């Protein structure tokens, strides 16, 4: 009996010794937690300027056994919210060993564009300021670093203190409705320019309606420049 037990133990030791995936290290939850925090923080800091706070709410394991080698822990985030489910991938010598989920509290704060006062729909974004706000749930909704407020207008009413998001704004058209425009009336032999009022908005290349107060008539022309419309007769 002892001989059989000895052979079984010896066989197990030999198998583990010959198995490159033999488990020989134990990762504690504290180590895993810190690695998850570092990976999430580094990733968000690459994409967004500001401060990032990460708190791991729970892990499914107190310890994880892994083969001997260089350990790397990577994370994947689906929808980023105040409490997010994080996919954790554990690698040893760049070989995937284990994948599991973890709950994490993530807070991202950054300077963003905020409205000082009410901005009515259709008005340009002239009254904004930069203010540090929590933007965790709206990271993908914000304008980029090169955002120029003067080139945009409100798509809907924006209240004081509201963070400016992409869904709330649209580019200012080349010609705005009810604005004065110069209309070039062109024939094969002559061109005449008269002042008109734009009845619709549009960008360069669009066709819009204009109204002549002189002739009391409406025309359709093509926007060819800032406040310039071409009407071919």
- CA–CA dist 177, 197 (Å, integer): 8
- CA–CA dist 178, 228 (Å, integer): 14
- Fold matches, 109-171 and 180-232: no
Higher per-residue pLDDT: 139 or 125: 125
Q: What percent of the chain has a predicted confidence (pLDDT) above 70?
A: 90
Assess whether pLDDT exceeds 50 at residue 219.
yes
Q: Which residues of 124-140 are buried (b: 16+ CB within 10 A; e: fewer)?
A: ebeebeeeebbbbebee
CA 22, 94, 106, 162: dihedral to nearest 10 degrees?
Answer: -160
| Backbone Cα Rg of the chain | 32
| Predicted local distance difference test score (pLDDT) of residue 187 | 87
The reported pTM is: 0.60
In angstroms, the Cα distances linking 97 to 66, 74, 206 are 7, 12, 57
Domain ranges of the chain: 25-108, 109-171, 180-232
- CA–CA dist 40, 46 (Å, integer): 10
The yes/no answer on whether domain 109-171 falls in CATH 3.40.47.10 is: no
Q: Which of 233, 177, 164, 186 is nearest to 206 (CA)?
A: 177
Name, in order, each residue with C-beta under 8 angstroms of 92's C-beta and a sequence gap of 6 or more. 66, 67, 68, 69, 70, 71, 72
| Predicted local distance difference test score (pLDDT) of residue 38 | 92
CA 20, 23, 24, 29: dihedral to nearest 10 degrees?
Answer: 140
Q: What is the pLDDT of residues 36-91, one digit of tens each?
A: 999 989 888 887 778 889 999 888 888 999 998 999 999 998 877 778 888 999 99
Q: Coil, strand or helix: which one is 200?
A: coil
CATH number of the domain at 180-232, out of 3.40.50.720, 2.30.30.760, 3.90.1170.50, 3.30.1330.40? Answer: 2.30.30.760
Q: Coil, strand or helix: which one is 146?
A: coil
Which of the four pLDDT bands, split at 50, 70 and 90, describes residue 3?
very low
In angstroms, the Cα distances linking 161 to 119, 127, 132, 233 are 11, 11, 11, 50
Looking at residues 147-151, what average pLDDT do you find? 89
Which of the four pLDDT bands, split at 50, 70 and 90, describes residue 23?
low
- CA–CA dist 28, 78 (Å, integer): 25
Looking at residues 16-37, what average pLDDT do you find? 74
Assess whether pLDDT exceeds 60 at residue 8.
no
Distance of alpha carbon 186 from its chain centroid, rounded? 46
Assess whether pLDDT exceeds 50 at residue 107.
yes
Higher per-residue pLDDT: 188 or 182: 182
| Predicted local distance difference test score (pLDDT) of residue 144 | 79
Among 83-97, 128-142, 171-185, whose mean pLDDT is lowest? 128-142
């Amino acid at each position: 009996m002892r001989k059989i037990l000895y052979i079984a133990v010896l066989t197990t030791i030999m198998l583990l010794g010959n198995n490159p995936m033999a488990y020989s290290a134990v990762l504690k939850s504290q180590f895993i937690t810190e690695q998850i925090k570092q990976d999430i923080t580094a990733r968000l800091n690459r994409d967004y300027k500001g401060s990032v706070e990460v708190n791991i709410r729970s892990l499914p394991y107190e310890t994880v056994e892994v083969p001997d080698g260089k350990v790397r822990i990577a994370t994947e985030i689906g929808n980023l919210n105040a409490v997010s489910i994080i996919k954790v991938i554990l690698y040893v010598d760049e070989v995937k060993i284990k994948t599991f989920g973890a709950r994490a509290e993530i807070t991202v704060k950054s300077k963003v564009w905020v409205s000082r006062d009410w901005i009515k729909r259709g008005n340009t974004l002239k009254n904004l300021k930069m203010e540090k706000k929590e933007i965790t749930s709206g990271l993908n909704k914000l304008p980029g670093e090169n955002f120029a407020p003067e080139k945009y207008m409100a798509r809907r009413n924006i209240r004081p203190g509201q963070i400016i998001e992409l869904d709330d704004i649209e580019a200012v058209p080349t010609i705005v409705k009810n604005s004065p425009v110069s209309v070039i009336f062109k024939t094969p032999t002559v061109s005449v320019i008269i002042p008109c009022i734009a009845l619709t908005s549009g960008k360069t290349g669009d066709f819009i309606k204009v109204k002549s107060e002189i002739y009391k008539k409406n025309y359709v022309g093509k926007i060819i420049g800032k406040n310039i419309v071409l009407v071919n007769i």
